[in-house]
Chains A and B, each alone.
Chain A
Amino acid sequence: MDNIQEAITLQNVSFSANGTEILHQLNGGFPAGNISVLVGPSGAGKSTLFRLLNGMRSADKGEIYIHGKNIAQFDPTDLRRTVGIALQQAPMLQGTVWKNLSLPRKLQGKELTKEEAQKLLRIVNLDEQLLDRKAKELSGGQKQRLSIARTLVNQPPILLLDEITSSLDQVSAHEIEKLIIHLNQAYQTTIIWITHSLEQARKVGDYAYVMMNGKIVESGNIDLLTHPSSDSVKNFIKGDQS
Chain B
Amino acid sequence: MSYFTLVLALVFVLIPLILSKSLKLGLEKDTIIATVRSIIQLLAVGYILKFVFASDSYFYIGLMIVLMIAAATQNARKKGTSIKGITMKLVITFIFVEILTQAILLGLHITPPTAQYIIPISGMMIGNSMVLGILFLNRFTAELQAHEEEVELILTLGGTPKQAIHTQLINSIKASTIPTIESQKTIGLVQLPGMMSGQIIAGADPVQAVFFQLLVLFLLLTAAVTTSVLLGFLSYPTLFNERMQFLNERIKTED
Contact = CB atoms under 8 A, between A and B. Distances in A.
Interface of A: 17-18, 54-58, 76-78, 80-81, 84-85, 89, 91, 93, 103-104, 107-108, 150-151, 153-154
Q: Kindly name the residue among A81, A89, A93, A150 whose own CB sees the greatest number of chain B CB atoms within 10 A.
A: A93
Contact of A77 (B149, B153, B158, B249): B158
Contact of A154 (B157, B160, B163, B167): B157
Given A57-B245, A76-B244, A81 B153 contact: no
Central interface residue in A55, A56, A85, A153, by most chain B CB within 10 Å: A56
Interface string B207-250: 00000000000000000000000000000000000011110010
B155 A103 contact: no
B154 interface: yes
A75 to B, nearest CB: 9
A77 B244 contact: yes
A185 to B, nearest CB: 24
B159 A55 contact: no
A77 B159 contact: yes
17 contacts: A55-B244, A55-B245, A56-B152, A56-B246, A58-B243, A77-B244, A78-B158, A80-B157, A81-B158, A93-B167, A103-B157, A104-B157, A104-B158, A107-B159, A107-B160, A108-B158, A154-B158
A80 B149 contact: no
Query: Which of B153, B158, B245: most chain A CB closer than 10 A?
Result: B158
A17 B253 CA distance: 13
Contacts of B249: 17-18
A56 B154 contact: no
B254 interface: no
A76 B163 CA distance: 14
Nearest to A104: B157
Contacts of A153: 157
Given A18-B249, A55-B243, A107-B163, A91 B149 contact: yes
A104 B245 CA distance: 17
Nearest to B248: A56
A136 B157 CA distance: 18
A151 B153 contact: no
Given A55-B244, A89-B149, A107-B154, 19 more contacts: A56-B155, A56-B246, A57-B245, A58-B243, A76-B243, A76-B245, A77-B160, A80-B156, A81-B158, A91-B150, A91-B153, A93-B150, A93-B153, A103-B154, A104-B157, A107-B157, A107-B160, A151-B157, A154-B157
